[in-house]
Chain A
Amino acid sequence: KAGVTQTPRYLIKTRGQQVTLSCSPISGHRSVSWYQQTPGQGLQFLFEYFSETQRNKGNFPGRFSGRQFSNSRSEMNVSTLELGDSALYLCASSIEGIGGYTFGSGTRLTVV
């Protein structure tokens, strides 16, 4: 059974650019969540998508957005990148809610 796949693994972008990250969940999982991990702030929840609808959102500016497709694959987009957006972005999928979340290997974004 394939795990959660995140692409790309590494990205280097320039301030002011935008970036799109991709996440393919485990087959049959309809919930996809995104988290940002930084040394200073730790692991913070960005948003969750379920059946193509954003169901929950963390405290991040509007520059951070996402979407989910009918096959449950999800993308997150960050516009007008800032140096502080440099982080490991992790995607997690679950069947529904509380049972448990499976994480991907993450995308390491560096903004220069």
Chain B
Amino acid sequence: GNSVTQMEGPVTLSEEAFLTINCTYTATGYPSLFWYVQYPGEGLQLLLKATKADDKGSNKGFEATYRKETTSFHLEKGSVQVSDSAVYFCALTAWMDSSYKLIFGSGTRLLVRP
């Protein structure tokens, strides 16, 4: 079936450290891939997306590359800030039950310490 698997958190880093949050997926066809971010007590904000293999999505210093050969879409940032502390969700669109669905991973909490 279609699913998204993210690394479990929390991920705790010091400010200016390098960030990687792993995301792998299982899907039929050619899904679009997304990273959303959720700050405490708020809704989800789209961080970046990629719609086909080898596309790189980027925004606010975050990047992720759509890797079809490894079915991955890992999120990276070269230097994190305290303000990046949030929960990050990887997601894909998949054709299921006669319609497209947005399938989410369980989320990875990032805590950045000063």
Tell me whether A and B are bound partners.
no
